[in-house]
Amino acid sequence: MTSARECVERIRGARLRVLRRIVAAVAVSLTMFTTLVGTSVSGSTRSTLTSPVSVTFLPSGEGWMLGVFHCRTGTCARVEHTSNTGHIWTAETVPAPLQKLMRTEASDYYPVAQPTIYFANANDGWIYGSVPSGSPNGTFNAELLSTHDAGRTWSPISVKSLGMKGGILSVGASHGQVYAIGWNTDQTFGLWRTPITTNSWRRVSTPTLFAAAGGTSMEGALVFKGNSGWLMVGNDRGVTGGARLTSSGHWVKWAGPCASVGGNFAVPV
C-alpha cells in the first residue's frame, strides 16, 4: 500500500515536471519574440523594436518579416530577412508606397493597413492586402508589390488595370506560377496568375466566387499539392465560393469540407 508520504512525493514530482515544462515553454516564447523584434546582425539588441505584422518562411529556413515600429513620423514599416530560421535578422529596403500606407494609423501605433508578405522561393516574393482609399465612405483598394531580387527592391503592381478592387485575400505559388485571389466586383472575387519571375498578371477563369452578404471581413485561401490546387473564400457565415485546379490546368467548381453560408462558423484560412 502506498503511504501518505509517498503520495505527497509523487504529487510534488508531478508538479515539478509540469513547472519545468511551463518554464521551458516560456523560455522558447521569449526567445522567439526577441528573435523577431530585437536581434541585429551582431546578435545585440536594437534600440528600436519591431512589431511583426506578417512573416513568411521557406523550407530551407530562409524567411522575411514585415513589421512596424515607432519613428519620428509616427509609424514606419520595416522588412527584415533571415537565412538561419530567425536567429539573425537583417534590414531590407522598404518600398516607398508601402512605407506611406503603413503610416496611416487607426490609433496610436496601430496601422490601418495590415498587409501580408509571401515568398515562393529565395528571390520572388509579394506584399499584398488592402489599403484605405481615402474616400469619405471608408472603402479600401487592393495593394500588390513584388520583388524578384530577394527583397532588395520592390515594384508596385497596377492592380486597377488588372481589375482588382477592394483587396487581395491570398497569394500562393505552384509549378512556376503565382496566383492571387482578389475582389473583382462589389459582390464577387476573381483569380489572377503570372509566372513567378515576372509581373505579367492575367485573369484566370473560375466558377463564380461570391462574397457573403454580411458578417466579418472576407477571407481566402490557396492550397497547392503537386499538379492540384484548391481555393476557398468566405467568412464567419461560412464558405461562399470554392474551386479546384484540375490536371488539365482548369479551375472547376468545388465544394470544400466546410459548410456553406449559414451552416457553420468555419473560415477558410
What is the domain extent for residue 186?
45-253
Within-domain flag for 133: yes
Do 49 and 93 fall into the same domain? yes
Do 21 and 154 fall into the same domain? no
Under 8 Å between Cβ of 119 and 64: yes
Q: What are phi and psi of 237, to 5 degrees?
A: -80, -15
What distance in Å separates the CA atoms of residue 83 and residue 61, rounded to the nearest whole number? 6
User: Which segment of 106-110, 167-171, 191-195 scores lowest on mean pLDDT?
Assistant: 106-110
Within-domain flag for 11: yes
User: Which segment of 9-18, 24-33, 97-106, 168-177 scores lowest on mean pLDDT?
Assistant: 24-33
Do 51 and 182 fall into the same domain? yes
What is each CA distance from 78 to 33, 67, 98, 196, in whole angstroms? 16, 5, 9, 24
Do 30 and 110 fall into the same domain? no
CA angle 202, 268, 78 (to 5 degrees): 70
Question: pTM of this prediction?
Answer: 0.76
Question: For residue 45, what is the DSSP state?
Answer: B
pLDDT band with cut points at 50, 70 and 90 for residue 13: low
Q: For the chain, what is the domain count?
A: 2
Within-domain flag for 259: no
Do 242 and 188 fall into the same domain? yes
What distance in Å separates the CA atoms of residue 91 and residue 20, rounded to the nearest whole number? 36
What is each CA distance from 74 to 39, 67, 83, 106, 108, in whole angstroms? 22, 14, 30, 12, 8
Of the two residues 235 and 18, the one the predictor is more confident about is 235
